[in-house]
Structure 1
């Protein structure tokens, strides 16, 4: 049986999104949970959105080789897999159907520390729908127990 360790963490997230010459920046702090199952680390938190909606966000960190991002709302789900230098297909589930997307991680860095339990995650990626570039993104996440 694999051991599971779960602790509360403070999470700081910054994102930058560029599309069609426009730039959007976002920064927020969250109370979250860090769950360790074997060698895999999960970071979970909930975003409060307008109109009393919530988005459940999970980062699954499998070392420096793979990170998965899942963002669930009541009627939407986005699941992206990031591997450095690879374009990975996925889908964006909406009430109107599934939209095929692909994420290309040009840069990815993960740092995990044990004492105190802390870390950071940096991902620069491009999101595509077929041959169409949907945008350039940067995620900067830091957490501490």
Structure 2
């Protein structure tokens, strides 16, 4: 099994439009790794948030994607352009089922000579069959310094 890992610089832009609230936009610059494993591409990075350190893995594709978060936040967010997907979010009170309804999903990888690319997803998040907001996540990555 071939595993290729490259250190990358990540620019993460996240926009949330809650069903009943004001639009929120976040931008973060992070260090991470791009992993190519058996034909699949993954981004891994750590975020420091008020909840603590959050380890995130993003499995990227043009038709399906998966965001796994562990540490201060535990979440499984699957995405599929063709159908709604079941995920979950763990809270102190237990595990809450969530649903993602994907509107746009793309992964553009740079040419083979250098590691760079953009992953973008737009989706609705539903909890207990109620829409809680519209989300846009754009992750740009470029090979970091050795």
Q: Same fold (TM over 0.5)?
A: yes
**Which segments of structure 1 move beyond 6 Å, counting only runs of 4 or more?**
none
Q: Deviations over 1:84-129 (max 9, x none)?
A: 1421011111221010100011111110122211110110000001
User: Structure 2 CA distance, aligned partners of 1:49 and 1:21?
Assistant: 22
CA-based RMSD: 1.3
1:142 aligned residue:
140
The change in CA–CA distance for 1:50 and 1:129 in structure 2 (over 3 A counts) is: closer
**TM-score with structure 2 setting the length:** 0.91
Task: Find the counterpart in structure 2 of residue 17 from structure 1.
Answer: 16
Secondary structure of the residue that 1:81 maps to in structure 2? strand
1-structure distance, mates of 2:129, 2:79: 18
Q: How many residues align?
A: 141
Q: Which runs of 5+ in 2 are unaligned?
A: none
In structure 2, how many angstroms separate the alpha carbons of the residues matched to 1:5 and 1:47? 23
Is the 1:44–1:57 Cα contact (8 Å) retained in structure 2?
yes
Matched, 1:90 2:87: yes
What is the TM-score of this pair, normalised by structure 1? 0.92
Q: Give the equivalent residue in structure 1 for 2:45.
A: 45
Show the counterpart of 1:129. Answer: 127
Relative contact order, higher structure (CA 8 A, sep 6+) = 2
Identify unmatched segments of 5+ residues in structure 1: none
